[in-house]
Amino acid sequence: MSLRDNLPLYLYELHEGDQDVFTDVLLAHEMEYDDTEFLDLVLESRTKVLESFEEDTLTEAIARDLEARQGFVILDDRVLRVSVVVSNEEDETKVVSVEDQRGVMEDASDERFRSLVLDVEKEDRRWGER
């Protein structure tokens, strides 16, 4: 799969969410699937992994299965080559070592970074918060 070969690259998203937690996985493939075709692939993978997956989330398990069986590429830190911190200040815009970031994650393999979305009702906020 290469943009340099003038082949198109199509992106697909798996989104898992309930009322409290949301996870997204971004996939790439050189083939274009319509909604129904991609849904069929996801449902097939979901059925295959549902009872036995070891990943942290169902979306990650489905993505790994699609990667192994259908040739999708998971767009995650494994394919990240350069990371740049961008700032309004020129001297603060710089490359951040991807290898150092990977080393930290490997050393702390039991600690994972996740995003958490919290929706607080206005009446439940602490006094003085807007």
pLDDT per residue as tens digits for the range 69-128: 999 999 987 878 888 889 898 888 988 887 765 554 454 444 555 555 556 676 666 655
Residue 59, pLDDT > 70, answer yes
- The pLDDT of residue 12 is 95
Residue of 99 and 30 predicted with greater confidence: 30
Region of residue 70 (left: phi > 0; alpha: psi -120 to 50; beta: else): alpha
Q: What is the DSSP letter of 25?
A: E
- The pLDDT of residue 81 is 82
Pick the CATH number of 3-76 from 3.30.300.30, 1.10.1740.110, 3.40.50.10800, 3.30.70.2710: 3.30.70.2710
Q: In this structure, how many other beta carbons lie within 10 angstroms of the beta carbon of residue 41?
A: 19
